[in-house]
Chain A
């Protein structure tokens, strides 16, 4: 039964094209109360008082909640739990939640929210990470403004730079980027038939939400149920708590259904952002292009709260080398608190920012050495036996070289003409961007679990707690189950992302679901097959060893005619056949001092080639084409993989050229621009399938890798077109024009 590697319709496609998929704001409840959040207007202030009396008098208002109504732990966060759900005594950034109104109508909730008077006493604030780390900077959290400092030390960088024939040192900067998932956060909460506080909303991780909400309400885990609604995108933005705690708090106290729907403006103002990173990067190479050393200093702005700051700090450092083997490495990565919007997880966890830096460096080295950009990358590309900066020796599925060669082949066949005589102000250029990306969490356990069931009436059920947020994991899981069980896909029912019905599959993040949950499912199937053989052995009176499982049947090794369909095994045994699966990738912890270890079990690789046209009189960049070569291990659903790539390119293009969230201002889709259909380049995906021995059917991941190399390729292409490099993202009209002018000034000086 061939299900893997073939095009099958996404299992959620039908509901979605009919307009019947139930997103957060589409959920219905029995006369729900409407919730509105009152938020801080100050970047840093003590709360002197919150006056709610007037608000409580508004007709239709049921209740106003403040921090003192929270029965449990009023702080959330993935690792460091430092973010209050409702600020108890202090706000640390504009938009911090201060009070919550529940009312019979939105109008009443809104009116009441306006009547809540919060008296603040402003505190000095810090809006820059460098300032935040100075000795007498205002403290944002008790333990200081340094969230994390992480080092990677390998070899001897001094010796490495001594050995180098050229060194290049530059500083790169990136800014806040919004996930801009299309569905604004929304959801409902109610007490279910068992009295559980139930929250239904878009999310990337129901089991994490459950733990946070339970601790927040001081309830046992079983007292909280989280169900993922249809989720209109995530990209990391729904790894953190968004609306869950507000909903749960109101439902818990009021014991009736409640609803919240964020406006787009609210989503922009209060959800996490991509970490702005400042990266000082020094690289050394020999005449033949071989890298001898890098020294990298990373400073990130985690904003007012930790969220995924530590994760991003560590992952950025681990990926600082890019997909290259470098004998001497020194990286220091720090994350500082500021009173800026909080940064969190966003597609790539810091690696897109790092790729911008390391790929710019590779280009500068190639220039300094007079080498072809692909040649210098191939010269240093990781390969079997290579040792990474963390001292991990790679053994298999290392497709970086292959992605580079594929791009090179394409480039050789499609030479570009750089100048258009009709429009002399238009300059074309091409650029390369490469990347590597460790699949799964960094050097920590991140298991997934799954169950498979076949019941006596023949129903086949797959249980997974993983959240499909549009990327297609539900379909991929069913493909894996179908192929491995030998049962048609449509005959398998998937029970998904509901904490009452499924077990923890971990977050839909770090491009991990296909690889990790896919493997957990395979393990569940391995066990259910064993179970089927065991039952069949009793039914047939044959020793287990004489039986095997094939194509949905238990068969005898000796008697060709003995063959029992697995559903019949269940039926005749009168039992539910069950298989439990768990998978946790093999990793080791990183050494806290040197960052040495094997943080990931496998890595994905990719190279993009971008072709751009720069209007040197306006600074406008048009990305004409992106050739996107990806080593995904194995494409279980090629169309999904292509979709991840084209989507990643568009997001990468936005990151490169136009996306910039400005704190404090009123953001909406008027001033936060993401690419439209008229902006996107032609994308030519090239799949490189370097079988990953530990992956399900050889698969790795592609979600984040799709985005990461795009912006570096575009920035390198711009530099190629205009002869001057841009070191700060986004490369908007103003920055591109400034670079053009800088180039002109250099020329006229000569």
Chain B
């Protein structure tokens, strides 16, 4: 029959426009390729965001430079003081890494809740950062970890706090010739507790409606150190320094936490303006913050679910 299945061409619904594709063997080669492309190249790692962009016509590069073969970008390594994660390490690898779990569990949890198993097997931490989505799941943990991004180009290497890598929604501070090669952060000591809570409209494959990542150090009943970063409610990833300042040195009783939670929602409105979604988001971000704080204080932050 004419219409039976055979080896004749089948089609996808939307075609991706053509480009060249290079898989450099060394980082130097990658930098050279990028430099020589004069802004017409794009770096590809997992491709979970980039390929959709290509399909939708959001970007139209003439060359893709695949960095996933570069060994140094695929490693999770520790030194005495720091843990570094290569830009091409996948979310699955982060979620299952004993090192990340030990020294930065807040990041493991965020990575384990991204998208779906399929997406986590492809998507990378570097890609999640440079895609610059306000709802990027790894950004709040990286902010509270004070993670530093390592950025290189042919002639230069610089270290940039992750908070400064993302300039605005879907916009980075990277120059066209620069590659994010990894992030590193100080290994968390045992007495630092962490909390991560993510709220979405669905239990899998859903963009975060909002999230809270926090790190907490309590000594003799008083908050010694605290870092708080919300996800999906601010245009750029950032910590809530005013709330942190308020909490430092205080004992985290219910009253203090309540005032702090109010400050979280105020900070959100101050930085993103009053949006139609604010009446929902303000009380919810307060609640999530309180929940994350309580869980961290009780030392039970295992689930990560809202």
Contacts and interface: CB of A to CB of B under 8 A. Distances in A.
Interface of A: 20, 22, 25-31, 34, 106-107, 110, 184, 186, 188, 190, 192, 200, 227, 229, 257, 259, 261-266, 425, 615, 617-620, 658, 669-670, 673, 675-679, 732-734, 737-738, 741
B4 interface: yes
Interface string B266-290: 0000000000010010011001100
Among all A-B residue pairs, the 3 with the closest Cβ atoms: A617-B287, A678-B203, A263-B13
B192 interface: no
Contact of B201 (A425, A678, A732, A738): A732
A498 to B, nearest CB: 11
Contact of A620 (B2, B5, B11, B306): B306
A425 B287 contact: yes
A30 B4 CA distance: 11
13 contacts: A28-B9, A29-B8, A106-B11, A259-B11, A261-B11, A262-B13, A617-B288, A618-B199, A678-B202, A678-B204, A732-B201, A733-B201, A733-B280
Given A261-B11, A264-B13, A734 B3 contact: no
Contacts of B14: 110, 263, 265
Contact of A261 (B2, B6, B13, B291): B13
Interface of B: 2-15, 199, 201-207, 209, 277, 280, 283-284, 287-288, 291, 306
A261 B11 CA distance: 7
A412 to B, nearest CB: 30
A414 B205 CA distance: 33
A418 to B, nearest CB: 20
Contacts of B2: 29-30, 190, 192, 257
B209 A27 contact: no
Nearest to B285: A618
A701 B204 CA distance: 32
Contacts of A110: 14-15
A257 B2 CA distance: 10
Given A259-B11, A676-B204, A615 B3 contact: no
Nearest to B277: A734
A732 B284 CA distance: 14
Contact of B205 (A106, A620, A676): A676
Nearest to B55: A263
Given A261-B11, A263-B14, A678-B204, A737 B5 contact: no
Contacts of B199: 618, 620, 733
B8 A618 contact: no
B4 A22 contact: yes
Contacts of A30: 2, 8
A28 B10 contact: yes
Contacts of A618: 199, 284, 287-288, 306
B18 to A, nearest CB: 9
B296 to A, nearest CB: 16
A582 to B, nearest CB: 29
A650 to B, nearest CB: 12
A671 to B, nearest CB: 8
Contacts of A670: 207
Contacts of B10: 25-26, 28
A673 B5 contact: no
A734 B280 contact: yes
Classify the interface of chain B: helix, strand, loop or mixed.
loop
Contact of A28 (B6, B13, B280): B6
B283 A737 contact: yes
A732 B280 CA distance: 11
Contacts of A266: 13
Nearest to A31: B8
A658 B202 CA distance: 8
B3 A227 contact: yes
A676 B203 contact: yes
A261 B12 CA distance: 7
Contacts of A732: 201
Contacts of A617: 283-284, 287-288, 291
Given A184-B13, A618-B199, A618-B287, 17 more contacts: A25-B11, A25-B13, A26-B5, A26-B10, A28-B7, A28-B10, A30-B2, A190-B2, A263-B13, A617-B287, A618-B284, A670-B207, A676-B204, A677-B204, A678-B203, A678-B204, A738-B280
Given A28-B6, A675-B202, A107 B280 contact: no
Nearest to A23: B5
B15 to A, nearest CB: 5
Given A262-B13, A263-B14, A618-B306, A22 B5 contact: yes
B280 A200 contact: no
A734 B284 CA distance: 10
Contacts of B201: 658, 673, 732-733
B2 to A, nearest CB: 6
Contacts of B288: 617-618
Given A200-B3, A618-B287, A679 B202 contact: yes
A34 B11 contact: yes
Contacts of B209: 733
A106 B15 contact: yes
A7 B209 CA distance: 43
A670 B287 CA distance: 26
B306 A673 contact: no
A620 B209 CA distance: 11
A197 to B, nearest CB: 13
A25 B5 CA distance: 10
A263 B207 CA distance: 21
Contacts of A265: 14
B98 to A, nearest CB: 25
A673 B206 contact: yes
Contacts of B207: 670
A615 B205 CA distance: 20
B306 A615 contact: yes
Contacts of A675: 202
A110 B55 CA distance: 13
A619 B11 contact: no
B205 A737 contact: no
Interface centre among B4, B14, B291 (most CB of A within 10 A): B14
A27 B3 contact: yes
A493 to B, nearest CB: 16
A178 to B, nearest CB: 15
Contacts of A676: 202-205
A20 B11 contact: no
A188 B9 CA distance: 13
Contacts of A20: 5
B179 to A, nearest CB: 27
A591 B117 CA distance: 56
A618 B202 CA distance: 13
A673 B287 CA distance: 24
A28 B283 contact: no
A222 B227 CA distance: 74
Contacts of B3: 22, 27-29, 188, 190, 200, 227, 229
B284 A679 contact: no
Interface centre among A34, A184, A618, A738 (most CB of B within 10 A): A618
Contacts of A673: 201-202, 206
A253 B2 CA distance: 19
A677 B284 CA distance: 26
